[in-house]
């Protein structure tokens, strides 16, 4: 049989991630802007915070925090199943647009101490959810119990009878078995009705038990199982089954929490998610199934409209491999040389992925305000910023710390060494020289790098206080790494296409 020809690029709708942990505080401010960097624009945000999101108002308030950090992402909000989640609260949640309720059996994973001990005590809540067309998201594991013979390797399989019973009792209730890791789970979901779906993570498609035993950054709950189980996961995504879809379960923890005596459970994939999945799908020879897995299947199950051309797109390209950073710095942590900042280590840190993302940014428009300077390092995407001051007319102000920005023609060729950032549809003036700047792209004159001009592509933004930080892509960071350059700029800007030569 002739081998499939692998295309040089694939254009897809923005992806949807139906299971993601965005945390709170400094970690939330760090990882939430990375959602778009990973190629995703719709996210089901998990409620296992401290305290957990147990009321409608708590979920709404959390959604507002996330929206400030990533204004263009659609956040699907969830509630944490708990005794206070009465049928009346379910009605209130549904009317407020909250889509799902998450079930954590007590003690099985991060912040699950408030979790469920007896599912039958919540049957009136499930009935209300069924009536209001909400979704029940299940962390499908039984708590470990040596006397019952339950441990982390069989906890998922032992939970499946509960799934079957819930589906039998509430046949119209849409249920998602999240982050399946076993052949038994795949077979169970396939055997049930159309109201039962299943998410699969990127990392569980790659690893088995041997890969997390002794490697804390691959340790998660549920744990990856045996090669035969991984094969079952790969076979179901290769088949394109419509009730199996992407839920990354990306779950960042500080390095110190992952490398301690009892490593925290969670694998971090958010900033590289879609390149990661595409790399695996190419290996499996099923790139034609990629759009269904990362978009169509999940959106259909969640009854969301399918993306249109007006929603923008992402283009995966093979011409430039994506090097996964060794770590990302957690924003707002650390205080000088004697207090190192927290870092979070991504899945497959330091490795190269076969696909990278060239994103159609035309739907973006923001204004950068405030002032900031930062040192660029390869491990710190969030410290690579273009922020600073502008005059009252919104014109760019040059800064004495580095050479002025140089004029860059719009017909620049986008190559491995050229990265661009789009500006607003007006011309900008360097007030120091009174020269107009190109209205679609700028270049950074880097004195610490032999005055080489680097055209920097932006891949995401975050907002903290009075400023918005603009993240550069990893290729630009690698080129700037270790140069200890401060960037202090401010421009009114939006993402636009850069015309190619």
- How far are the Cα atoms of 115, 152, 268 from residue 146, in angstroms, in the given order? 20, 11, 30
- Known catalytic membership, residue 249: yes
Closest listed residue to residue 202, CA positions, set 239, 156, 160, 251? 251
Query: Scanning the structure block, which residue is given the tokens 């207090």?
Result: 339
CA distance 148 to 155: 11
Q: Which of 139, 204, 323, 468 is catalytic?
A: 139
User: Quick one: 288 exposed, middle or buried, by C-beta within 10 A (0-12, 13-18, 19+)?
Assistant: exposed
User: Quick one: 255 exposed, middle or buried, by C-beta within 10 A (0-12, 13-18, 19+)?
Assistant: middle
Q: Which of 249, 342, 380, 399 is catalytic?
A: 249
Q: Which of 17, 41, 102, 229 is catalytic?
A: 102
Residue 111 and residue 264 in contact, taking contact as beta carbons nearer than 8 Å: no
Return the structure tokens found at 73. 């992402």
- Known catalytic membership, residue 21: yes
Contact residues for 92 (Cβ-Cβ < 8 A; gap 6+): 56
Q: Which SS3 state, helix, strand or coil, does residue 501 take?
A: coil
N-terminal to C-terminal alpha carbon distance within the chain:
39
- Omega cis (within 30) before 51: yes
CA distance 277 to 229: 18
Q: Which of 17, 41, 167, 179 is catalytic?
A: 179
What is the distance of C-alpha 499 from the center of its chain? 29
Q: Which residues pair with 343 in a beta bridge?
A: 329
CA distance 495 to 263: 40
- How far are the Cα atoms of 98, 122, 256, 377 from residue 220, in angstroms, in the given order? 27, 27, 15, 28
Return the structure tokens found at 475. 């290729």
Q: Which of 21, 241, 253, 457 is catalytic?
A: 21
Closest listed residue to residue 126, CA positions, set 161, 79, 166? 166
CA distance 44 to 47: 10
CA distance 413 to 309: 25
Residue 366 and residue 463 in contact, taking contact as beta carbons nearer than 8 Å: no
Residues present in the chain in total: 501
HSE-CB for 107 with a 13 A CA cutoff = 8
Q: Which of 19, 203, 331, 437 is catalytic?
A: 19
Return the structure tokens found at 1. 């049989």
Catalytic residues: 19, 21, 102, 139, 179, 249
């Amino acid at each position: 049989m002739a081998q499939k020809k692998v295309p040089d690029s694939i254009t897809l709708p923005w992806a949807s991630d139906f299971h993601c942990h965005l945390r709170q505080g400094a970690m939330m401010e760090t990882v939430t802007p990375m959602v778009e960097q990973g190629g995703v624009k719709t996210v089901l945000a998990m409620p296992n915070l401290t305290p957990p999101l147990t009321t409608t108002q708590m979920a709404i308030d959390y959604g507002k925090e996330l929206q400030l950090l990533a204004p263009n992402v659609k956040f699907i909000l969830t509630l944490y199943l708990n005794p206070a989640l009465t049928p009346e609260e379910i009605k209130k949640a549904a009317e407020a647009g909250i889509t799902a309720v998450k079930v954590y059996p007590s003690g099985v994973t991060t912040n699950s101490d408030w979790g469920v001990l007896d599912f039958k005590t919540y049957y009136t809540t499930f009935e209300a959810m069924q009536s209001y067309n909400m979704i029940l998201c299940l962390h499908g594991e039984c708590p470990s119990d040596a006397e019952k013979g339950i441990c982390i390797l069989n906890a998922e399989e032992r939970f499946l009878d509960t799934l079957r019973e819930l589906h039998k009792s509430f046949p119209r209730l849409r249920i998602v078995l999240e982050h399946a890791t076993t052949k038994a789970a795949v077979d169970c979901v396939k055997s049930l009705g159309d109201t039962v779906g299943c998410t699969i993570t990127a990392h569980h498609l790659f690893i088995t038990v041997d890969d997390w035993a002794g490697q804390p950054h691959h340790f998660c709950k549920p744990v990856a199982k045996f090669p035969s189980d991984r094969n079952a996961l790969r076979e179901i995504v290769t088949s394109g089954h419509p009730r199996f879809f992407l839920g990354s379960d990306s779950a960042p923890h500080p390095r110190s929490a992952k490398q301690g005596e009892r490593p925290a459970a969670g694998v971090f994939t958010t900033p590289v998610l879609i390149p990661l999945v595409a790399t695996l799908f190419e290996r499996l020879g099923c790139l034609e199934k990629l759009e269904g897995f990362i978009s169509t299947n999940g959106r259909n199950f969640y009854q969301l409209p399918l993306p249109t051309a007006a929603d923008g797109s992402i283009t995966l390209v093979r011409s430039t491999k994506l090097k996964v950073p060794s770590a990302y710095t957690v924003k707002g942590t650390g205080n000088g040389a004697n207090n190192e900042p927290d870092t979070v280590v991504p899945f497959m840190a330091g490795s190269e992925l076969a696909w990278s993302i060239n994103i159609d940014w035309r739907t973006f428009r923001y204004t950068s305000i405030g002032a900031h300077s930062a040192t660029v390092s390869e491990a710190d995407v969030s410290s690579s910023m273009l922020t600073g001051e502008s005059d009252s007319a919104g014109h760019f102000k040059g800064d004495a710390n580095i050479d002025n920005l140089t004029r860059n023609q719009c017909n620049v060729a986008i190559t491995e060494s050229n990265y661009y950032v789009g500006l607003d549809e007006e011309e900008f003036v360097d007030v120091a020289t009174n020269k107009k700047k190109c209205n679609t792209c700028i270049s950074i004159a880097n004195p610490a790098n032999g005055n080489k001009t680097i055209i920097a592509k932006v891949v995401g933004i975050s907002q903290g206080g009075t400023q918005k930080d603009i993240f550069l892509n990893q290729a630009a960071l690698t080129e700037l790494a270790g140069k200890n350059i401060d960037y202090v700029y401010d421009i009114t800007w939006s993402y636009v296409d850069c015309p190619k030569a």
